[in-house]
Structure 1
Amino acid sequence: MLNGNDSSITPSFVLAVVGVIWYKVLWILGLLGCFVGRRRYRLRPRSPSASAPPHTVPGVSVLRPLKGLDTNLYENLESTFTQEYSNYELIFSVADKNDQALGVVRELIAKYPLVKAEIIVGEEVVGVNPKVNNLVRSFRKAAHDIVWVLDSNVMVDSGTLARSVDALIHPPTSKSKKKQKRIALVHHVPLAFVNEPQLGSRIEEAFLNTNHAKMYIAINTVALESCVVGKSNLYRRSDLEKLDGSLKPHPIPSPGAGGPAQSPTHTDRDRGLQVFGKFLAEDNMIASSLWHELDVRHELSCDVARNAIGNMTLSDYIWRRVRWIRVRKHMVLAATLLEPFTECVVLSLVASWSLHRLLGVPIWLTLLIHYPLWIMIDLDVNESLAGHPLPLSRMWQFLGAWALRELLALPIWCMAILGDEVVWRGETYRMMRNGEVEHATGGGCLSSLLRRKRGDHYERLDNPVEI
């Protein structure tokens, strides 16, 4: 405490003040995520567009890139055949004509003959990102300007498309007199569910449904910067075709507007989906490019992207997190360096020391209060997204996975922050500036070990930009 003597303002005193302020900021964000989660996700009204005639609602092209037999694949894909929306088409794309996912798609097309659906076989290589290579021909084939890109491990509610179009076309009106910026992208919070009793799967579920969801909702509510997970994104193809991936605002002259002449070196490959083939996290880069280059904004709808977590071992979970952190380090370095101080365990140590230094509060008392309250908030967020409380039969199992996730967060971060290589689908990539990647030649012992361990096991490329 200050007693009128300037010498009492020591470095430890300053650090303690900063620690208390930081702790307060993180609690505000956590409570904001919890409050918005309650308000937004506990009631999902049916959209008027769900029963509207085809000519009265905008058309949507639903694009689903596929590779292999993902967990829950049949139900995931079927959820887009049963959308309550009268004007949409489905386009499924695979790189290989022998891909096992094709059998599932053909069975669903036969089951729902009234739904307009087609399959595109064969990729167009525009970069190192196979998802982008898989999607290029689908974008070209899409009949509608609005496109909805969903990962193959995502299942959605039947009303999701209608509500998402509403959010894109008719976003909520702000009470502020400040002019609202146009909504150019609608995305959904991932809600994980597990059907494989593996430890890594349980930990991933606990992470996505609590801390990740809480911070994701809060940051998108504050909306100071783009923060988008690419599992389920709805946006306009005409907007995407204006982007060059530079994240710098640039004028887009309209045809015949008499503006400055386009550079003679400009080609169609300088803008649009293909320019994002050089990024590993193409979904986040597309969202960030919309935000910064076109000065538009994003909107969360009241739906979730139900993410089927497959057979994930503890080792799979750890290396998955390592990959995300290493990608994120080259995209948002400052946020990545601060990340450990946003996690439950490290934050509790910061708070307990700071309060003890400033006010003499016993360290054990701060810890005793911190953890139950933190867990309560996380469980409340999980309940809001799931639409029901966590079953008592699963409570201790879930809390055990939650606790292990929190304890592993700092060791995983330390392991990830020191490297630049990521191993994905048996291939080694080296991260470069701004999230661009290149194929790594050779690779170290760790890369070789991971390649041998994983073999040809298929892994989803999820958006690494997490909180």
Structure 2
Amino acid sequence: MESDTGQSPLVTSSTVRYYLSIVCLGWYAVHWSLQLVGMYAARRRYRSPCPRSPSSSAPPESVPGVSILRPLKGLDTNLFENLESTFRQEYPNFEIIFSVANEYDQALPVVQALLEKYPNSNARVIIGEEVVGVNPKVNNLIRPYREAKHDILWVLDSNVTISPGALARAVDILTTTPGSGKKISLVHHVPFATVSTPTLGAKVEEAFLNTTHAKMYIAINTLALDSCVMGKSNLYRRSDVDRLDGSLKPHTGDTPNPSAERGLRAFGKYLAEDNMIASGIWHELGLRHDLSCDVAHNAIGDMSLKDYILRRIRWIRVRKHMVLSATLLEPLTESIALGTIAALSVRSLFDISYLFFLSCHFSAWLFVDLDVYCSIAGHPPPQGSRTSFFVAWMVRELLAFPIWLYAVVGNQVMWRGKKYKMLRNGEVEAVKPSAISGLESALTWLGARGRKSLDQYEPLPLSHS
């Protein structure tokens, strides 16, 4: 076909469609490659039992000491079992420091019971936070961080249970120079969700963490593309964190900006302090992270679907202000959008049926997700809960784009009953309660139903450290 001037047009709609289809299939292939890396890395790392560390039975003076920090707030699901797993670590040289913001905290009776059960343990409680920013977890950690006896710190969330050999194996990784020559300065554990109350929100959260999240988390860390750390269970050196200023800019030599605040205090202005600390270690110090073969068992309680939605909205908005480009591309990594784009492309290029392609696509996607689940769980979904798992998995996939679309246009988030406004680079500022919208206020109230009032608890006669 020629134009009025007698010359062939340089670009036709079919040409544009052809090259656009090629680009889309290229993106599809790249993302599938990343998924397969996650699947095979999960198989290699988690399908075999973790080896016993030699340091588990070594003399105390022959291994580096570790201070285990467990910041607490309220009664998390399975709190007694979560905290007890800390006392049962097979490692000869560690201390445990629990910390709460005030003496009325609901977690204190649980801690008291554990201290009585393990009277010979090297464990203590610090009561009273030190406010250095808007992040309550950082405020709760400042004193134990400063008063810890050892340089190696293991920060564990209160809703996490860990296996007895996890500490020894993590220390082995931290203190061994890898073949790449890049020093490991942070060891973390992939979270594996366990549900105690099978509400829809809890099941959807379980499906998300144990499939999509685990798959990409393992893949990105295996390829070492960039810092990607979730703060459920992190082991690092205080001496490294003390060099960080939160700028994420490489230091010139070993001396950070002398006018900048350094150490844990510098991260009190961020909501995702765990990710920022890990990013600081990676970008400011040029050091690396590594995953252990252990998993962090994350106990999920009575989570409604609205709780789940609010949680996903929160972290999408946090990521938007930290890694904007990746957040904007996120829908194109989800099964429905990615499959639809690829189906249109193969229809255009190869005249393959949409229905046939999408059937293959979703079957393969589900297979990979289940394979990752089996790797980190050590077994398939339990027989009695497979139907509910598949339903939750489908709900998660269907909700992914609507949640992203709502989240990406806003800048305010709810966290532990308080509202924050996201600022640049992941920083936050508190928002007055009156600024909470009617919808989000209702969702927060519904998510907090059934929780006991602090007024029902009496302070325990624990000594203040």
TM-score (norm 1): 0.91
2:4 aligns with none
1:355 aligns with 346
- Range 388-397 or range 20-29, more displaced: 388-397
Q: Equivalents in 2 of 1:452, 1:231: separation in Å?
A: 25
Deviation at 1:454, TM superposition (A): 4.6
CA contact (8 A) 1:425 1:456 kept: no
| Residue 280 (1) aligns with residue 281 (2) | no
1:403 aligns with 394
> Which residue of 303, 324, 327 corresponds with 2:294?
303
1:29 aligns with 34
CA contact (8 A) 1:242 1:252 kept: no
1:238 aligns with 239
Matches within 5 A, 1:46-125: 46-125=52-131
1:163 aligns with 169
> Which residue of 14, 21, 45 corresponds with 2:19?
14
Amino acid at match of 1:388: H
| Residue 420 (1) aligns with residue 400 (2) | no
CA contact (8 A) 1:326 1:420 kept: yes
Amino acid at match of 1:360: D
Deviation at 1:455, TM superposition (A): 5.4
Deviation at 1:373, TM superposition (A): 1.2
Q: Equivalents in 1 of 2:134, 2:227: separation in Å?
A: 24
Q: Equivalents in 2 of 1:453, 1:327: separation in Å?
A: 23
1:142 aligns with 148
Q: Equivalents in 1 of 2:178, 2:184: separation in Å?
A: 10
Secondary structure at the residue paired with 1:278?
Answer: coil
Secondary structure at the residue paired with 2:209?
Answer: helix
Q: Equivalents in 2 of 1:253, 1:400: separation in Å?
A: 52
CA contact (8 A) 1:426 1:456 kept: no
Amino acid at match of 2:302: N
Amino acid at match of 2:280: S
Distance 1:172 1:46, change over 3 A: farther
Deviation at 1:448, TM superposition (A): 3.8
- Range 149-158 or range 110-119, more displaced: 110-119
1:368 aligns with 359
Deviation at 1:453, TM superposition (A): 4.0
Q: Equivalents in 1 of 2:113, 2:449: separation in Å?
A: 26
Deviation at 1:15, TM superposition (A): 1.9
The C-alpha deviation readout for 1:18-44, integer Å capped at 9, x for no partner, is 110111111111111110101101121
Deviation at 1:371, TM superposition (A): 1.1
Length, aligned pairs only: 440
Distance 1:7 1:452, change over 3 A: closer
Q: Equivalents in 1 of 2:321, 2:438: separation in Å?
A: 22
Matches within 5 A, 1:156-305: 156-174=162-180, 180-251=181-252, 253=254, 263=258, 266=259, 270-305=261-296
Secondary structure at the residue paired with 1:10?
Answer: helix
Distance 1:440 1:457, change over 3 A: farther
Amino acid at match of 1:49: S
Deviation at 1:275, TM superposition (A): 0.7
Q: Equivalents in 1 of 2:310, 2:430: separation in Å?
A: 18
Q: Equivalents in 2 of 1:141, 1:89: separation in Å?
A: 11
The C-alpha deviation readout for 1:248-299, integer Å capped at 9, x for no partner, is 0113547xxxxx9x85xx47xx100001000000000000001010000000
The C-alpha deviation readout for 1:298-350, integer Å capped at 9, x for no partner, is 00010100000111001111111111111111111000000011111111111
1:433 aligns with 424
Q: Equivalents in 2 of 1:238, 1:285: separation in Å?
A: 16
Q: Equivalents in 1 of 2:11, 2:331: separation in Å?
A: 32
Distance 1:390 1:453, change over 3 A: closer
Amino acid at match of 1:77: L
Secondary structure at the residue paired with 2:328?
Answer: helix
Q: Equivalents in 1 of 2:359, 2:106: separation in Å?
A: 51
The C-alpha deviation readout for 1:341-395, integer Å capped at 9, x for no partner, is 1111111111111111111111111111111111111111111101122222222
- Range 103-112 or range 405-414, more displaced: 103-112
RMSD over equivalenced CA pairs, Å:
1.8
Q: Equivalents in 1 of 2:337, 2:202: separation in Å?
A: 24
Amino acid at match of 1:100: Q
The C-alpha deviation readout for 1:388-440, integer Å capped at 9, x for no partner, is 22222222111111011001101111111111011122221100000000112
Q: Equivalents in 1 of 2:158, 2:85: separation in Å?
A: 11
Distance 1:76 1:344, change over 3 A: same
Q: Percent identity?
A: 60
Gaps of 5+ in 2: 1-9, 452-465
CA contact (8 A) 1:425 1:457 kept: no
Q: Equivalents in 2 of 1:457, 1:289: separation in Å?
A: 39
Q: Equivalents in 1 of 2:363, 2:177: separation in Å?
A: 37
Deviation at 1:114, TM superposition (A): 2.4
